[in-house]
Homo-oligomer: A and B are copies of this chain.
Amino acid sequence: MAQGCIFCRIVEGESPARKVYEDEAVVAFHDIAPQAPVHVLVIPRKHIPSVLELEESDAPLVWAIHRAIREVAQRTGIAESGLRVVTNCGKDGHQTVFHLHYHVLGGRGLGWPPG
- A interface with B by C-beta (< 8 Å): 35-36, 51-52, 54, 56, 58-60, 62-63, 66-67, 69-70, 73, 78-95, 103, 105-115
Contact = CB atoms under 8 A, between A and B. Distances in A.
A34 B86 CA distance: 17
A82 B82 CA distance: 27
Nearest to A103: B114
A112 B94 contact: yes
A91 B79 contact: no
A64 B86 CA distance: 18
Contact of A86 (B58, B63, B66, B86): B86
Contacts of A115: 84, 105, 110-115
B92 A110 contact: yes
Contacts of A56: 63, 67
B82 A109 contact: no
A82 B89 contact: yes
